[in-house]
Structures are given as C-alpha cells and as structure tokens.
Structure 1
Amino acid sequence: MTGSEVSPSFRLAYVPGVTPAKWVRIWNERLPDVPLTLHAVSAADAPDVLRAGGADAGFVRLPIDRTDLSAIPLYTETTVVIVPKDHAVAAVEEVSPEDLADEIVFHPLDDVLEWEKRPGLPALERPATTADAVELVAAGVGLLVAPQSLARLHHRKDLTYRTVAGAPESRVALSWPEEATTDLVEDFIGIVRGRTVNSSRGRTQTAAQPKGKRPEAGGAQRKSAAGRSGAGKSGGGKSGTGKSAAGKGARSGGGRGKSAAASAKRGKPKRRS
C-alpha cells in the first residue's frame, strides 16, 4: 500500500435509545477487513454531524431536514410515561395523556417527541437532558413521557413505565449525506434492510458473479450431453419396440400354427377295418 492510500473504514453515528449492536455484528462478519467505529451523538446534533462528514451514516430520529440527507425510516417506537414504582399509574397497563392532567410532566431540552399540546402540568424549569429528568422522577418530583427505548436506557430499579395511548411517537431512521452514497454506505443499507450476502443489490454480489457462470456453462454441457443421450435412448427405444413387436408376432404366429396342427390332427378320419 502506498503512502497516499487510506485503509477503508466506516463511521456510524447513533442517537440515544438506538442499539446498533446487531447490525455491527453482521458488518464484522461480512466485511471483516473494514473496521466500523461507533459515534454516540445527541438526537439534535445527529443531522449536522452527518452533513459535516463526522460520520458516513447514522441512526437518527425523525423528522429531519432531508434537503441534503437521505433517510430510510426503520421503525416507530412506543411512547411511555416513566413513574416511580409506587405511583398510582404503575397499577395500570396503559394511560392516556388526559390521565396525566394533574401530574407535573417534565419537558427536557433534548425531548424528541413533538406535541401539539403537552400533557400534565409544566415544571418550573426544564431539565437539560432526559437523564436529568429521570433523576427528578426518581426523586418523586414529577413524571416523564418519552420513547420506550429511552425509558430502557435510563432504567432504574425504583422506576417503571407504562404505555401512553394517543401520544406522539418517535420514528427512527437510517440517514446519510445524499451526495456521499458510497459503496460502504450501500453495504450498510443492505445489512439494515436484511439483505443476504447473495442479494442482487449487494456490492459483494458483483464479485460473486463469475463464480455463477461456471455452473451455467457446465449445465449447458450436461444439457447437451443429456440431449445426445436422450437421442440414443430414443433410437434404442424404437429398436426395442420393433424387436418386441417382432417377438410378439412370432409368438402369435407360433401359437396359431400349433392350433392349426392340433385341429388338423383332430379332423383326420379313422381307418376302418
């Protein structure tokens, strides 16, 4: 490798709540010579990190400005309310935003949910982060509504969460700079979308094509050989049919001759004394 050549690598950004471990494992299995590095970024900063070239692709939370970014929506998260385990909400499986009307509900500065009307009563101050809001919930000051993945990320033994029906939901997408759709980006898109190694859209399939031509050529040879063999069998079959017919005719003729001889013997007159 010359001094001007750079070893290929892939930089993947991800926002809190997203767990990229499964896709990273598949990447390492398929492209062991291309290291993948992870970069944790906030949901608000993720689009700018991609635009600035700080990562080749990233998991983001929608909506984002797609003017210069491509995005593939992946899944939508359930929205939950995080409460102390001894709170009344913990006794039910699901609540509505109206059920939280008399509760203080925190609205952290990094909130990823877009509300037309936020539930509950506002706190005196907005927590700086979701993690700070969770600490306040544990202190019994109020509640927090967030995507389920963030509730799991900030799990505490003294807290639990319940589904909030009718609340806004957060969507997670894979995004990358539109003008930087490289082969490695296409490889990662294929992994995220569940394409196999032999997928026709996978870059590795192009290299595998020459291997696929040899069986086709061999198949043509076998087909040609099968055709010649079939022709021989077909001719032999006709010959066998004629032989069989001739044998049948011989046997049939022999049977009639024997019958005629027996009939003639029976019809011979007796000598008179």
Structure 2
Amino acid sequence: MTGTEKTPAATPSFRLAYVPGATPAKWVRIWNERLPGAPLALVPVAADEAADVLRRGDADAGLVRLPVDRTFFSAIPLYTETTVVLVPKDHVVSAVEEVTLADLADEIVQHPLDDVMDWERPPGQPAFERPATTADAVELVAAGVGLLVVPQSLARLHHRRDLTYRPVVDAPGSDVALAWPQERTTDQVEDFIGIVRGRTVNSSRGRAQAPQDKPQEKKKPAAARKAPARGTGRPKPGARQSGKQQGGSPRKPGKPRKRS
C-alpha cells in the first residue's frame, strides 16, 4: 500500500440499549445475518436511566418501557407484557391460577423506587419503607415481607426456587417499545426499525439491500438456434421416400439407360 492510499473507514457499530426484562436476541440475530459488516453492540441500562442514555447519545436506540417523552423521542410499541404478582411458594395465592387487584387489597405489596409499572395508585398496602430496587424487593418477598407486582419478564429474570408468580388479570400491562431521539434517525436506526417491524431484506422501505442475482442469459432468437441434425427432422411434403411408398409395394429398380 502506497503512502497516498487510505485505509477504508470501519463501519460504526449500532448501539442498542435495553432495559431489564427486554429480550433483543431475535432482532440481534437478524441484524447480524443481514448486516455482517455493521457490528451491533448491546448496552444494558436500568429502566429509569434508559431515556438519559439515549439523550446523551450513549446508545443509538433502545428497547424501553413506555411511557417516554414523545416531544423528544420517536417510539414504536412492540408488545405488552402480562403483569404478575410474585409470592412465596407457600403463600395462599400460589393455590390459585390467577388473581385480581382486589385479592391483593389487604396484602403488603412492595413498591420499589425503580418500579416500572405506571400506577395511578399501587395495589395493596404500602410497606413501611420502599426498597431501592426490584432486586431488593424480591429479597424481601423471599423473606416473607410482602408481595411484589411486576411485569412477567422481571419475575422470570429474578427467578428463585422459593418463589412463584400468578397473573393479575385486571392490572395494567407494561408496554415495551423501540425508542430513539427524533433528531437522530440515522440509516442504521432505519435498518433496525425494518427488522423489528418484520420487513424482508428486499423491502422497498428497507435500506439494506440483498445482493442482486446475476442477470439471466437472454434466449437466442429462433433463427439463430441450431438446426436439428439431418435425419432427425420431419420430412418435407412431397419429398421422395426410400424403401416402401405410402400405401404401395417396394419400387423395383429400373434398367440403366444406354448412352447414345
């Protein structure tokens, strides 16, 4: 390489933030298949820090829990999680298939400071002191101090053998969305939007294009095609036949003519 040649610039990585309980694995796999030259970096963030991470530009987009500030962020809702109550395995709630908020009215329900549920009024009776994190609240439930209402993914994330959970049928769900700053809708953000929306690689709205197939070889005109080999084609009308005549007997050879 001469001194005047420049090394090609590396494709910048796409940074995807995600909150606890969000599962980006499927979309990351599709990204890696479609855009192998553009690495995707995962950025785990706490739910209450996701907006600040995106505002600062420490991630290009994020899987976050709604609501978000729609004056600053664009957001595409992806799915709504079932809400469950986390209880000790020997609790009376474990004997039923599902519960309602009214069933929890007399129970102490932990409400951690990082709670991701958008409650107007949290269910049950408040604990003496709010735990700092969901993980701390899970420890209290395991110790027999109250219950905890969370999205199902968080109950699975904090799985313990001594705890179980049941759906709360009339509790609000938790909406997970893809969000990014409106003013930073880059080409890579558009590529990831296409993936989460299920667009194919050849979609007209997708930026990443599949490799083009080789053009098919044009057929030659009929006149230029190779003529059939002699003896294999159909005889022309009126052509003399050797051997038997149609509908007659074999022709007898005639005497040669005398030359004068």
What interval of TM-score do these two structures reach, taking the shorter chain for normalisation? 0.7 to 0.9
8 A Cα contact 2:194 2:206, kept in partner: yes
In structure 2, runs of 5+ residues without a counterpart are 225-236, 238-260
Q: 1:84 aligns with which of 88, 103, 118?
A: 88
Distance 1:180 1:67 in 2: 13
Residue equivalent to 2:104 = 100
1:175-186 matches, within 5 Å, as 175-186=179-190
Distance 2:154 2:221 in 1: 65
Moved more, 87-96 or 183-192: 183-192
Letter in 1 for 2:154: L
Residue equivalent to 1:170 = 174
1:16-95 matches, within 5 Å, as 16-95=20-99
Residue equivalent to 2:126 = 122
Distance 2:214 2:191 in 1: 24
Distance 2:73 2:84 in 1: 29
Cα separation, partners in 2 of 1:66 and 1:3, compared to 1, 3 Å: farther
Residue equivalent to 1:142 = 146
Cα-to-partner distance string for 1:202-234 (whole Å, 9 max, x where unaligned): 2122x74xx36934xx5xx55x958x89xxxxx
Residue equivalent to 1:201 = 205
Alignment RMSD: 3.0
Q: Percent identity?
A: 72
Distance 2:112 2:15 in 1: 29
* TM-score (normalised: structure 1): 0.76
Distance 1:213 1:67 in 2: 46
* TM-score (normalised: structure 2): 0.79
Distance 1:204 1:23 in 2: 15
Q: How far 1:2 sits from its partner (Å)? A: 4.4
Which portions of structure 1, spanning 4 or more consecutive aligned residues, are displaced by more than 3 angstroms? Answer: 1-7, 211-215
Structure having the larger proportion of residues in helix: 1
Distance 2:88 2:176 in 1: 27
What is the count of residue pairs matched by the alignment?
Answer: 232
Letter in 1 for 2:215: R
* Aligned partner of residue 196 in structure 1, secondary structure: coil
Distance 2:6 2:164 in 1: 56
